[in-house]
Copies of this chain bind each other. A is one copy, B any other.
Amino acid sequence: MPDSPVPLDRQLWDLVYAHDAAWDRAARTAGLSAAQACLLDALTDGGRSMGELAELLLCDASNVTQLVARLEAGGLVARRADADDRRVKRVTITPAGRRVRRAVRRAFDFADERLGRLTEAERLRLSGLLGKLLAPPS
């Protein structure tokens, strides 16, 4: 066999799909949607404001409001007004949220399982190639 019968752009689609599907599965094993899991994953110890989350998740602020509302209803997240600027709401993760987040991260086997098939040298080469691909587009 001279070279792969699967073209590179098709491989990229497959990789993207596998990655997405793995995250979605990991989220659902913990009872979350993919978007909710992303938000939970983006929280830091100090908590984040709604605006920060909107920027991180690259979506509208009102979308964050809804996501946080659902997570809050599940007791995974708490929302309180910032002391310095009472306009901003700080979203913090609860102990239950921390447990769920751990479960999601543990269930997200993609990085471990798939990247684990590569040797350290291969991972380094892959990282280099991806670096080229990911450099700012313009």
Question: Interface size (A, Cβ < 8 Å)?
Answer: 36
A124 proximal to B (CB < 8 A): yes
- Is A87 engaged at the interface, CB distance under 8 Å to the other chain? no
Q: How many copies of the chain does the oligomer comprise? A: 2
Indicate if the CB atoms of A11 and B117 lie closer than 8 Å: no
A113 at the interface (CB under 8 A from B): yes
Residues in B neighbouring A6, C-beta threshold 8 A? 127, 131
Question: Given contacts A127-B8, A129-B125, are A134 and B16 in contact (CB under 8 A)?
Answer: no
A:113-132 near B, CB below 8 Å: 113-115, 117-118, 122-132
Residues of B close to A46: CB separation below 8 A: none
Q: How far is A130 from B4 in the complex, measured between Cα atoms in Å?
A: 11
